[in-house]
Structure 1
């Protein structure tokens, strides 16, 4: 079919997991590094992520890199009770039961005997449980009990739990706190960024044999693919397959808006999203409201450009109530955010019982659009910005802009960077505020006019219900940092890392040059332990954020004192 038309040797976007098509983004590589560390140290390792984000990809690569002296049991279908789970584990390890009955004690004794024998023979034992969010709490507790067997140096069983985000919620239950405390490495896979989506599509086309001059995916098309799929690899595959078929059917060498609209309408059911079914009358009303919204937005953008003052949201949102909610395909994580549409459909907050009062004095910390909020943040950080010079959009910029979704104020405190928060007004319109400080009960946000740089304190109890969990923040990664740094690698970022530790320690000579040596790994672990991080010796974004704080490279959140 379309393969010959585009010069492909095979289907490029099949949803089957083919090892040749494995695309390891930076976060996938960082996740793999954490898992490899975890299975060597014993206890529990946790990998979570939305459906289709690449958990199976990570598992396959993990299995490929396990040492030869490793015995592994893989549970793909979680069991409903303890006996079934223990029986399946014994069967996966090809164990015969010591007793006649398959009771919990008999099966547990059998596994303990196997673990001791394996350890005496110098072998490691790993249990991997997929779809672990489906396990009952009592089954998870039994898994914890299996890890009680240990030597003075290590645990005899390493357990890898893989599941959807609900697994994190399950493990946060008080009765599972002992298990949660035994997790030595955890990683949550997020959707691909726009740049990663571009690389992912091109990687699959290259593997499938497409000539570079026959690529039908333009940068504009890829941007729309990323927006529609939310950066979920499996959804990207489904949509791109339909796009190629559509382009072939219409005899078009490039994918245009017509092909995109047709493909999106065809696959929206497969992506788990409802098709819009708005009556004609509603469309007419929506069109009228949309026209008013566009006109008002244009006016306030002009006002902002003329005076430098972002219009308070309370003045804008009264113009037109929302008529629809945007499809919630998945939270989008992107390293380089693009300008946000000024007429995008507002999202619904998780809790909508908040009250944002109308007086300007109480809403002057709210900003109408994301770009204006980002501009306020950049100005606060003394980062130069103009209409044609946004640091987040420059390829050679030394600033990394992150747009992520987090679950709690504690996570924001760990990131410890001033950030733009995405909020939702009672009228279901998006709003933004620039948070520059936080304590246990309050936040300090920017307010007033840009040139005044005034601030105000807002209670977290007020911000919390309106906050979607989405934040935008900036930091300065070292030059050459493209993936998590681990022992044995060579990179200009490692040279920077060694030099900065020499500065912290007051040494004239760094521990190494561009090679991640054992001495540098030891120094990294000490730094991580002293700063409340997992001492795994892996230098990812979390470690670099903390190091930048110590070096004064990035501006941290301010403390907020009671009035």
Structure 2
């Protein structure tokens, strides 16, 4: 891979959303601060910006900095009608509502009841709507009405609207002035300046492991990249990625004019669109009209010479027909997508030998510990080295899941709903993966917290016994008290596993020991089906 040619630990300019690569310019810091303000009870908060300016990345950063006891509902399909949108919000929050053709009133009442209960538990609730410029005015008005749900002293729901600049135009309509007046904070993400572009490129290279003195982009080249990209981070990423690939292919270390021109030709056409002559499009349009007219004439002449047959009346396409057809196509092409979370969890837990009715997310009496975390790269998943449930966002912007059981050069090994292993290219799966994973591990009996010197109990005895088994020793280094010899053995193990060698047997050390001893399953490197 080209990134290894430059000594990078991973590609520096991937367009996949990764909060680790978020370049926090002053305006990005301000944007994140505005969202956090909204989460803490600031009423309506509005974040707008052109496509590719980093709105989604800021949302991901927000999720990592949510205050404790904050529940968030995220809507990615705002084009839905009002009842469907309210149902999506209830589903996101887990609010119970009548499932058989619920009315707007029933959904609103269910949401109000949930918000009151959440408030009594000391939790705050946030609704974040992405791509909000797609919302019809009726939906925006319904969202405004949701802010009327309140106690005597506090709003029960804080709302964040994120969208493209068209959202500002939409909210400027007179009929939406009540909503516009309730917006307490607005922020618009502008394209990066030249100096910010320079810092942005340097930041991403540094995060990927490249020292500043080896930057392949000179200030002159960065100025050209800034001009070509318009300062849009996504476009900068694409140009820089192609430039690095060009360097790798030509065995060079510094981007020059020729390499940049080659990169420019390979990226999306909209970067070069402005350079095309204005007279070209009318000419092409004229040619297309002539060709279309000729095709119609040929069809009419052929129809004259063809015996007439009764033609069935066309069926008007409905929204449900369109949606079901699209779902069928998606299901045929993406068998690895699992719609229900508990089904994905059960498939993953089967790797631990758990039966179909055992789910440690639903019951703590399983002997397994189930947890959720975030991993940013395929390398992170490879290092984690255990089956996980990946949280996905489908092309239709719905939440779905995939069960990862292996990684190889061929791709990611995923379990389908019927238990069959499918190999999917990481480039196909990566854009859908949100970074969230769910995993399980076998917690030793009596293990409640990290074990350190002088701790006692059955967990210490278990730990000493596992190392005796690993070292093929007849006698363990300790009985039921964590002594110095055992601590030193733990340090050696941690060092061999690239863990922090502190002699403290925390969760990561226990999980890695489970994997080495075969107690917990690991990712496979080849498809065994």
Superposition TM-score, scaled by structure 1 size: 0.48
Quote how far apart the aligned CAs of 1:125 are.
0.6
Return closer, same or farther for 1:256/1:110 CA change in 2, 3 Å cut-off: same
TM-superposition CA deviations, 1:234-265 (whole Å, max 9, x none): 00000000111112222222111111111112
Say which one has the larger Rg: 2
Contact 2:19 2:58 in 1 (8 A): no
Aligned to 1:57: 57
Aligned to 1:158: 158
Quote how far apart the aligned CAs of 1:143 are.
0.3
Aligned to 2:190: 190
TM-superposition CA deviations, 1:316-341 (whole Å, max 9, x none): xxxxxxxxxxxxxxxxxxxxxxxxxx
Contact 2:18 2:57 in 1 (8 A): no
Q: Quote the Cα distance in structure 2 between the aligned partners of 1:67 and 1:131.
A: 24
Q: Quote the Cα distance in structure 2 between the aligned partners of 1:256 and 1:34.
A: 40
Gap regions ≥5 residues in structure 2: 281-529
Quote how far apart the aligned CAs of 1:98 are.
4.8
Quote how far apart the aligned CAs of 1:2 are.
2.2
Return closer, same or farther for 1:277/1:265 CA change in 2, 3 Å cut-off: farther
Q: How does 1:33-432 map to 2 (within 5 A)?
A: 33-98=33-98, 100-269=100-269, 271=271, 273=273, 276=276
Quote how far apart the aligned CAs of 1:5 are.
2.5
Q: Quote the Cα distance in structure 2 between the aligned partners of 1:23 and 1:211.
A: 17
Return closer, same or farther for 1:272/1:95 CA change in 2, 3 Å cut-off: farther
What is the DSSP-based 3-state SS (H/G/I as helix, E as strand, rest coil) of the residue aligned with 1:125?
Answer: strand
What is the DSSP-based 3-state SS (H/G/I as helix, E as strand, rest coil) of the residue aligned with 1:153?
Answer: coil
TM-superposition CA deviations, 1:28-80 (whole Å, max 9, x none): 00111122122223421100000010101211122222211111100112133
TM-superposition CA deviations, 1:333-383 (whole Å, max 9, x none): xxxxxxxxxxxxxxxxxxxxxxxxxxxxxxxxxxxxxxxxxxxxxxxxxxx
Return closer, same or farther for 1:50/1:133 CA change in 2, 3 Å cut-off: same
Quote how far apart the aligned CAs of 1:27 are.
0.4
2:24 paired with 1:28: no
Return closer, same or farther for 1:270/1:100 CA change in 2, 3 Å cut-off: same
Quote how far apart the aligned CAs of 1:18 are.
1.6
What is the DSSP-based 3-state SS (H/G/I as helix, E as strand, rest coil) of the residue aligned with 2:72?
Answer: strand
Q: Quote the Cα distance in structure 1 between the aligned partners of 2:42 and 2:34.
A: 13
Contact 1:42 1:154 in 2 (8 A): no
Contact 1:127 1:160 in 2 (8 A): yes
Contact 1:269 1:275 in 2 (8 A): no
Quote how far apart the aligned CAs of 1:154 are.
2.1
Contact 2:202 2:212 in 1 (8 A): no
Q: How many residues align?
A: 280
Return closer, same or farther for 1:10/1:138 CA change in 2, 3 Å cut-off: same
Q: Quote the Cα distance in structure 1 between the aligned partners of 2:180 and 2:272.
A: 31
Q: Quote the Cα distance in structure 1 between the aligned partners of 2:210 and 2:14.
A: 15
Q: Quote the Cα distance in structure 1 between the aligned partners of 2:164 and 2:205.
A: 28
What is the DSSP-based 3-state SS (H/G/I as helix, E as strand, rest coil) of the residue aligned with 2:185?
Answer: strand
What is the DSSP-based 3-state SS (H/G/I as helix, E as strand, rest coil) of the residue aligned with 2:169?
Answer: helix
What is the DSSP-based 3-state SS (H/G/I as helix, E as strand, rest coil) of the residue aligned with 2:40?
Answer: helix
Contact 1:99 1:106 in 2 (8 A): no
Contact 1:265 1:275 in 2 (8 A): no
What is the DSSP-based 3-state SS (H/G/I as helix, E as strand, rest coil) of the residue aligned with 2:150?
Answer: coil
Quote how far apart the aligned CAs of 1:233 are.
0.6
Return closer, same or farther for 1:99/1:92 CA change in 2, 3 Å cut-off: closer
Return closer, same or farther for 1:163/1:119 CA change in 2, 3 Å cut-off: same
Return closer, same or farther for 1:174/1:278 CA change in 2, 3 Å cut-off: closer
Aligned to 2:292: none
What is the DSSP-based 3-state SS (H/G/I as helix, E as strand, rest coil) of the residue aligned with 2:276?
Answer: coil
- Larger deviation: 71-80 or 167-176? 71-80
Contact 1:7 1:214 in 2 (8 A): no
Gap regions ≥5 residues in structure 1: 281-563
What is the DSSP-based 3-state SS (H/G/I as helix, E as strand, rest coil) of the residue aligned with 1:47?
Answer: strand
Contact 2:52 2:234 in 1 (8 A): yes
Contact 1:43 1:184 in 2 (8 A): yes
Contact 1:44 1:182 in 2 (8 A): yes
TM-superposition CA deviations, 1:256-304 (whole Å, max 9, x none): 1111111112214265836636999xxxxxxxxxxxxxxxxxxxxxxxx
Q: Quote the Cα distance in structure 2 between the aligned partners of 1:9 and 1:276.
A: 39
- Larger deviation: 126-135 or 251-260? 251-260
Q: Quote the Cα distance in structure 2 between the aligned partners of 1:19 and 1:140.
A: 29
What is the DSSP-based 3-state SS (H/G/I as helix, E as strand, rest coil) of the residue aligned with 1:41?
Answer: coil
Contact 2:228 2:271 in 1 (8 A): no
Superposition TM-score, scaled by structure 2 size: 0.51
What is the DSSP-based 3-state SS (H/G/I as helix, E as strand, rest coil) of the residue aligned with 1:185?
Answer: strand
Return closer, same or farther for 1:177/1:64 CA change in 2, 3 Å cut-off: same
TM-superposition CA deviations, 1:58-116 (whole Å, max 9, x none): 11122222211111100112133101101111111112215754110110110011111
What is the DSSP-based 3-state SS (H/G/I as helix, E as strand, rest coil) of the residue aligned with 2:269?
Answer: coil
RMSD: 2.0
Contact 2:86 2:108 in 1 (8 A): yes
Return closer, same or farther for 1:214/1:116 CA change in 2, 3 Å cut-off: same
What is the DSSP-based 3-state SS (H/G/I as helix, E as strand, rest coil) of the residue aligned with 2:273?
Answer: coil
Quote how far apart the aligned CAs of 1:15 are.
0.3
Q: Quote the Cα distance in structure 2 between the aligned partners of 1:259 and 1:125.
A: 50
What is the DSSP-based 3-state SS (H/G/I as helix, E as strand, rest coil) of the residue aligned with 2:184?
Answer: strand
Contact 1:42 1:157 in 2 (8 A): no
Return closer, same or farther for 1:222/1:105 CA change in 2, 3 Å cut-off: same
Q: How does 1:537-556 map to 2 (within 5 A)?
A: none
Contact 1:35 1:186 in 2 (8 A): no
Q: Quote the Cα distance in structure 1 between the aligned partners of 2:272 and 2:43.
A: 36
Q: Quote the Cα distance in structure 2 between the aligned partners of 1:272 and 1:216.
A: 23
